[in-house]
Chain A
């Protein structure tokens, strides 16, 4: 073969450059199965409880580090230490929980009732996000469990959502593609999914 058209060479170089750039992203080390519970009080959404079940590998790492007395469970003091050492820092990452209420994004700034336990080798985190006042007229609440750093991959459990307390007369739970968080990757577009609750407000 004598001469290849310059375009071909440029294309190959562009392809190589693209390949190099694409490899510069992170990859997950921790796997979570998650679900949420919408908790109502006096007909209004009061809190959202988030539950994460970790994979066994990460679970054993945290258990080794924080179950100091090796009794196979997290005692009160140990729970506090897990919260300080392997949870509180997630405030910088929106606690991997993105709330969109009637189309408006609400940052997750405060969490309550952090609990951690261990069952069948898998660690479980649970915590509540208080839903701020003014949401009583909300109709659509979306919760997306997502680690933007991609260190953690979060999938939804089969029963990914439930409703507790004084449940609204009519409500519907579904998963919704989050167009606002979508992004393109070559010719394809990736759209993360959120858990969506729609309900009628009681008067």
Chain B
């Protein structure tokens, strides 16, 4: 296995401590909310498997519907727990001026890709490779973690570069609509009291770099993989695909809502402040987001630093 930290795939049953967590002496900081969510996840997990077994005996639409609801809940809770690229979405949308639609697209695509990747890997491992599922999933996760971590580092660096260039070239936040031609020096400080509109950002990196964030969701979702394996064991592959779809939609809702909250929050914070301080806040927020993205990518790459 590559020497890397596995933010979403480290498995203490198979991986060395470097691949799973930092110093063994340090205990995970788990708050009461996370503890409560974990308990909830545990119950939904049990309920989901019970329902899938029940469906095996009684193939009624009513039971199928309940299974899908349980899957959806499973996905929501799963995505609320730490991880799942929430950090990425969060820092990305801090650094970027984006539309609400961007947030929804990012959240939904990430949720679906995360689950679809897991489903694909399990199906290929089971039917094509006929290899150990846990090992195949672990190896695929390790590779995808590495690739996407580099992607995140690159994206963070790119955004950071863009933001610094904008800041240095006198990109002011309250320049109104007259910003058609970017990067002219001495753009000046024009307190027009206008809404802070950013056609530059919106047409620029905001839309173009979104696919990079979405692609990072290709790291397989271990929860979906487990559900898929269970469905195969029950001899109900189609049910597995349906359930995983429900899970991915649950994750998509949570990730979208988080993205939209970040986007709206950012826009409102920037709207609240004006003048020189507003400019500083704007630049600061964007630099912080880009820096955080970069740091998060490095965090994923450095052995023993992952989660």
Interface centre among B227, B229, B275, B285 (most CB of A within 10 A): B229
CB < 8 Å: which of B35, B39, B222, B274 contacts A190? B35
Residue of A with least CB distance to B300: A24
Please pick, from A31, A85, A93, A150, the residue contacting B45 in the complex, using a CB distance under 8 A. Answer: A31
| B182 in contact (CB, < 8 A) | no
Report which of A23, A151, A155, A192 forms a contact with B86, defined as CB distance below 8 A: A23
Q: Is the interface of B mostly helix, strand, loop or mixed?
A: helix
Size of interface on B: residues with Cβ below 8 Å to A: 70
Q: Which residue of B lies closest to A63 (CB)?
A: B233
- Contact A90:B12 (CB < 8 A) given known A149-B21, A183-B27: yes
Separation of A6 and B90 alpha carbons in the complex (Å): 22
Do A151 and B133 touch across chains, with their CB atoms under 8 A apart?
A: no
**With contact pairs A3-B277, A25-B307 given, residues A31 and B42 touching in the complex (Cβ less than 8 Å):** yes
Q: Which of B29, B34, B46, B285 contacts A13 (CB 8 A)?
A: B285
Q: Which segment, of A37-45, A53-61, A132-140, faces chain B?
A: A53-61
B182 to chain A, nearest CB (A): 25
On whether the beta carbons of B49 and A26 are closer than 8 Å, the reply is: no
Which of the segments A14-22, A165-173, A194-202 contacts the partner chain?
A: A14-22
**Per a CB cutoff under 8 Å, which of B27, B35, B78, B226 touches A61?**
B226
- Check if B14 is an interface residue, CB within 8 A of chain A: yes
Q: For the complex, give the distance between the alpha carbons of A73 and B68 in Å.
A: 30
Chain A 179-203 interface residues, beta-carbon cutoff 8 Å to B: 181, 183, 185-186, 188, 190, 192
Report how far A83 CA is from B124 CA in the complex, Å: 26
Contacts of A121 in B (CB 8 A): 49, 53
Q: Compute how far the CA of A56 lies from the CA of B49 in the bound complex, rounded to whole angstroms.
A: 7
Complex alpha-carbon distance, A1 and B27, angstroms: 45
**Told that A25-B29, A148-B24 touch, could you supply 4 new A-B pairs with CB distance under 8 A?**
A89-B14, A148-B28, A190-B35, A192-B27
Question: Hey, which bits of chain B sit against chain A, CB under 8 A?
Answer: 7, 10-17, 20-21, 24, 26-32, 34-35, 38-39, 41-42, 45-46, 49, 53, 78, 81-84, 86-87, 90-91, 94, 126, 132-135, 222-223, 225-227, 229-230, 232-233, 262, 265, 269, 271-275, 277, 281, 284-285, 288, 292, 296, 299, 307
Q: List 11 A-B contacts (CB under 8 A).
A: A13-B281, A13-B284, A26-B21, A28-B38, A57-B45, A57-B229, A60-B226, A64-B126, A92-B12, A151-B11, A183-B30
